[in-house]
Amino acid sequence: MRFNKISLKDSFELVKKKRPEICPNKSFFRQLIESEKELFNPENPSITYNDYLVLLIQHSLPDLSVEQIKEAFLLSDQDVIKTETFLLKKYFGLK
């Protein structure tokens, strides 16, 4: 972010394209959000922690839209495992 002067969201997407298996843990991602606030905009991060979780789910289930994932995420108490399970059952018929 600092070197290229790009947002956290753009940085995350760039790294994810190069290394799709990356998955920063909760604490590290929150630190990245704080770093972005210090560097660019203290009021509005380019990506929230919940948006990050939705993006992670989208990378594991690329056939689904962000809207479908966000809806399931909210219905699943914002829990990644519950959301993925819900989506797999609903859209892919897994039990």
The predicted structure's pLDDT at residue 21: 84
Tens digit of each residue's pLDDT (9 = 90 or more) over 21-77: 888 888 999 999 999 999 997 788 899 988 988 988 888 888 999 999 999 999 999
Residues 6+ apart with CB under 8 A from 58: 64, 66, 69
For residue 44, give both structure tokens.
């509005």
The predicted structure's pLDDT at residue 35: 95
Give kind and range of the element (H or E) at residue 82: helix 80-92
The predicted structure's pLDDT at residue 55: 84
CB burial of residue 45 (10 Å; 0-12, 13-18, 19+): buried
The predicted structure's pLDDT at residue 60: 84
